[in-house]
Every structure is written in structure tokens, then in C-alpha cells.
């Protein structure tokens, strides 16, 4: 177990960005998974914050419109890879091309 406040959510989000951008898999689906939509939102917002940080490479990719936030999630245009939120109330995971699954707050799962 890793204690609270050590950056687990931010680390998970960064690992998701690696899967989306560096791995180069076409059409990869990076799924940010949590029991509640609120918790999954923390993961997603950490990724969006990385896009907004003017000192990060992700910011420059966003400025070049290669990496952008959409209604469905964060889209990496070069490989058409999408990072999106999935929660326990999500109807189905059928038909996805899950490349990375980032789980947060696993102790809350049934």
C-alpha cells in the first residue's frame, strides 16, 4: 500500500500519457478507471493539467493541435488514441481496444 498524498493519481495519469503518446499503438484506448465518476475525474483532470502546463512538452503538442481535449476524452491525433474515463456505472467495455487501464482507488471496488 502507498499512503495518501504521495501522488498516485498524478503518476497514474502520467503513465496513461506514456501509453497514449510514446508507445505509438494506433487507436489505443487508455482507460482511466475508478469506482465513481468523481474519482475518475481526478485522474482525467491531472492529465488535462499536464496539457495546460506551459513548461511541458504536452502543452506544445496541444498548441500544435496534435493532442487535444474533446468531449470523449484526450485525443492524440497522430495515432488516433483516446484517453477516457470509465467507471463502475459504465454500461459496457465491449469493443474497446484497451491498451492501458489505469485503476485508481482500487480498495473501493466491489
pTM of this prediction?
Answer: 0.77
Spatial distance between the Cα atoms of 85 and 96, rounded to a whole number of angstroms: 13
- pLDDT value at residue 61: 72
In angstroms, the CA 20 to CA 24 distance is: 7
Confirm if 59 and 17 have CB atoms less than 8 A apart: no
Contact 103, 31 (CB under 8 A): no
Written as one string, the DSSP assignment of 60-96 is: HHHHTTSEEE-SSSEEETTTTEEEEEEETT-S--TT-
Domain coordinates in residue numbering, the chain: 9-105
How confident is the model at residue 80, as a pLDDT?
A: 92
* pLDDT averaged over 10-residue windows placed end to end, the chain, 110 residues: 74 84 88 84 84 71 76 89 81 68 68
Amino acid at each position: 500500500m502507498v499512503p495518501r498524498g504521495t501522488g498516485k493519481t498524478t503518476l497514474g495519469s502520467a503513465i496513461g500519457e506514456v501509453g497514449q503518446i510514446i508507445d505509438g499503438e494506433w487507436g489505443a484506448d487508455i482507460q482511466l478507471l475508478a469506482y465513481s465518476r468523481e474519482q475518475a475525474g481526478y485522474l482525467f483532470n491531472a492529465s488535462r493539467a499536464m496539457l495546460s502546463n506551459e513548461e511541458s512538452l504536452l502543452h506544445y503538442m496541444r498548441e500544435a493541435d496534435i493532442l487535444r481535449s474533446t468531449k470523449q476524452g484526450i485525443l492524440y491525433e497522430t495515432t488516433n488514441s483516446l484517453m477516457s474515463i470509465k467507471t463502475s456505472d459504465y454500461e459496457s467495455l465491449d469493443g474497446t481496444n484497451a491498451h492501458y487501464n489505469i485503476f485508481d482507488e482500487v480498495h473501493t471496488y466491489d
